Amino acid sequence: MPGIAHLIQEFIRTLPFFMKPLLLTFELTIASVIVGTVIGLLVALLKVSRIPGGQLLANIYITLIRGTPLIVQIFVLYFGFYKVIDLGQFWSATLALAIHSGAYIAEIFRGAIQSIDKGQMEAGLSLGMSSAQTMRRIIMPQALKRSIPPLGNQFILSLKESSLAAFIAMDELFSLARRLSAETFDEMTYFLIVAFYYLLIVMVFTYFVNRMEQHMAKGDS
């Protein structure tokens, strides 16, 4: 184990190097969660809709994503987007992560939509609203609110999963840690330092998610 003094010293010395990868990790995470949320919402709506083939399509996607390792997905999707469609490194990585998290986010939305009492849809219909109107104005606002805490969780997962982008040559946090350890043979130090960065972001983010949950609980029955 590296000594604590050495760790702190190295932490301070490498601080400037870590700023850009930190930013990239953030960008990757936020972009992939936003795109993943859009994918997830569409897939969830497909799943609860009665569009022919929609459910099947949604189920195939979710099964594929849940049934294969993320690192494999990232390689397949990344090289697909990067080499075949030529989206550039950042967007290829972002889309790969987004397509992965989209499957889990779809399940979050689907669960939230289905958790809304079916009396809500019936009330909307009985008033002469169409099912689409009721979905949009009555069900979705309640379902989205219920989705926020699990989405917060998914954000944390996505943040940690973005470290796998190091393996497709993205210069994010984990990639820098790997390079520093390779250069110095002082692996433990840099992996501990990078772990600290992840932990810090997760804790800050968790704090905000919890605050938001408490805030929302107040307005509820």
Which residues of the chain form contacts with another protein (CB under 8 A)?
117, 119-120, 122-130, 133, 137-138, 141-142, 145, 219-221
Identify which of residues 120 and 181 has a Cβ nearer to another protein in the complex: 120
Identify which of residues 69 and 119 has a Cβ nearer to another protein in the complex: 119
Identify which of residues 86 and 220 has a Cβ nearer to another protein in the complex: 220
Buried residues in 116-147 as b, exposed as e (16+ CB within 10 A): beeeebeebeeeebeeeebbeebbbeebeebb
HEC per residue, the chain:
CCCHHHHHHHHHHHHHHHHHHHHHHHHHHHHHHHHHHHHHHHHHHHHHCCCCCHHHHHHHHHHHHHCCCHHHHHHHHHHHHHHHCCCCHHHHHHHHHHHHHHHHHHHHHHHHHHHCCHHHHHHHHHCCCCHHHHHHHHHHHHHHHHHHHHHHHHHHHHHHHHHHHHHHCCCCHHHHHHHHHHHHCCHHHHHHHHHHHHHHHHHHHHHHHHHHHHHHHHHCC
Identify which of residues 199 and 216 has a Cβ nearer to another protein in the complex: 216
**Least Cβ distance, residue 146 to another protein (angstroms):** 11
Give the torsion through C-alpha atoms of 98, 102, 103, 108, to 10 deg: 140
Identify which of residues 142 and 153 has a Cβ nearer to another protein in the complex: 142
Identify which of residues 19 and 127 has a Cβ nearer to another protein in the complex: 127
**Least Cβ distance, residue 49 to another protein (angstroms):** 18
**Least Cβ distance, residue 143 to another protein (angstroms):** 10
**Least Cβ distance, residue 130 to another protein (angstroms):** 5
**Least Cβ distance, residue 214 to another protein (angstroms):** 17
**Least Cβ distance, residue 114 to another protein (angstroms):** 17
